[in-house]
Chains A and B, each alone.
Chain A
Amino acid sequence: AQSVTQLGSHVSVSEGALVLLRCNYSSSVPPYLFWYVQYPNQGLQLLLKYTSAATLVKGINGFEAEFKKSETSFHLTKPSAHMSDAAEYFCAVSARPSYNQGGKLIFGQGTELSVKP
């Protein structure tokens, strides 16, 4: 079974400050891990993904995440927040998909990021 826990339903940072959004996962198989961002009234946009290659993953818009197996974590960071980063962020886990099976995403509850000027 797989599950995702996002610590903190709401995070507020000042513009230019470090962004840290926390995600812990549980998985009985080697996980694939994802971070998605959702702007109001929109679908989900993939920020980055970990698929068993490098443990430090760089994504779009300056975000990165580090896979730590010992801590079962996949926290999302950005060195300097921008006003345009304000959105809902979702961490998700899946098993490795085969050509016709798997790939089902299990999402966390989401973390709303606010950026203060």
Chain B
Amino acid sequence: ETGVTQSPTHLIKTRGQQVTLRCSSQSGHNTVSWYQQALGQGPQFIFQYYREEENGRGNFPPRFSGLQFPNYSSELNVNALELDDSALYLCASRTQGVDGYTFGSGTRLTVV
């Protein structure tokens, strides 16, 4: 078991820029979700992908988008960054039939 790996661990961007965060899931984990965790808050669901298609989305604007690839990796893209996008972004994956997710350590994004 190799776990869920996220990169980079920390990132600083300027308001208005675009950012791509990456996640590498365990082999066989065909479902991946992304969460945003603002400081002092619980994680908030952004969206979920199953077999490379989005199949669930939380209350986030379209400038938050994602991709899932056949090799169990995925990306979270955020366009037109705002100061409030500063947060810890967590990737979580699971395999079909398993009830719990495995989380990565997250990417800390700071927008200045």
A51 an interface residue at 8 Å Cβ cutoff? yes
A36 / chain B contacts, CB cutoff of 8 Å: 103
B1 an interface residue at 8 Å Cβ cutoff? no
With the chains together, A41 CA to B55 CA distance in Å? 29
Query: At the interface, is chain A mostly helix, strand, loop or mixed?
Result: loop
B40 / chain A contacts, CB cutoff of 8 Å: 110
A107 / chain B contacts, CB cutoff of 8 Å: 42-44
Chain B interface extent, by class: 20 to 34
Residues of A in contact, count (CB < 8 Å): 28
At the interface with chain A, which of B62-70, B77-85, B89-97? B89-97
Chain B residues proximal to chain A, CB less than 8 Å: 4, 6, 31, 33, 35, 40-45, 48, 50-51, 55-56, 58, 90, 92, 94, 96-97, 99-106, 108
| 10 more A-B residue pairs beyond the given contacts A45-B103, A104-B58, with a C-beta to C-beta distance below 8 A | A42-B105, A43-B6, A43-B103, A43-B105, A43-B106, A49-B99, A101-B56, A103-B101, A105-B35, A107-B42
Jot down 29 A-B pairs with beta carbons below 8 A, ordered by A. Answer: A32-B99, A34-B100, A36-B103, A41-B108, A42-B105, A43-B104, A44-B92, A44-B103, A46-B101, A92-B42, A96-B99, A97-B99, A99-B96, A100-B31, A100-B50, A100-B96, A101-B56, A102-B56, A103-B31, A103-B101, A104-B33, A104-B56, A105-B35, A105-B45, A105-B92, A105-B101, A107-B43, A107-B44, A110-B42
